[in-house]
Amino acid sequence: MLLEREGISYLAEPSGIEELTEGFDPPELVLANACAKAQAVAGRRPDAEAILGVDTLVALGTRVFGQPANAADAKATLTALSGKTHQVHSGVCLIINGSQRTGIETTAVRFQSLSDQQIGQYVATDEWRGRAGGYAIQSGGQQLVESVIGDLDNVIGLPLQLLLKLAPELAIN
């Protein structure tokens, strides 16, 4: 959605890698996963002009929240984030003609203090599925958020400002 908004054409291809979940601090972890994703696809598509790997996670201090496994996990995640400021970290790895460019973006998101009823209603929407931190800020998850400091696109799933800084040639003007 974000690439299309910018007029950047792409072909999405799952990397098939098993993502790392520990062994690094959160920013280093997302960058390691983004690079592993990009390198895996680049290995299968050596003639591709550009390969983009991105990984995003939510962190509250040193506690990392990936994609909830089920509704109970989503409730626990949203309960832990309620009334607190967490960080959304994204790692970007772009391989252009064999040359690797990398970066990390971090955005602070403060959640409102949420009642059990609000959390239950949100989880019932199933929007949490496949979302780091268990919410989609671009949809109903915006009702959970009090404030955002930094790149909103990063929270949605792709830090476009960082991507275009790494590869200004991708910008459509």
Active-site pick, 55, 73, 116, 126: 55
Contact 20, 32 (CB under 8 A): yes
Q: Both tokens of residue 159?
A: 């830090």
DSSP letter (8 states) at residue 170? G
Question: Is 55 in the active site?
Answer: yes
Edge-to-edge strand ranges of the sheet holding 145-149: 63-65, 50-60, 85-96, 99-111, 145-149
Q: How far apart are CA 90 and CA 34, in angstroms?
A: 8
Contact 91, 159 (CB under 8 A): no
Instruction: Please state the separation of Cα 82 from the chain's center in Å.
Output: 19
Active site residues: 55
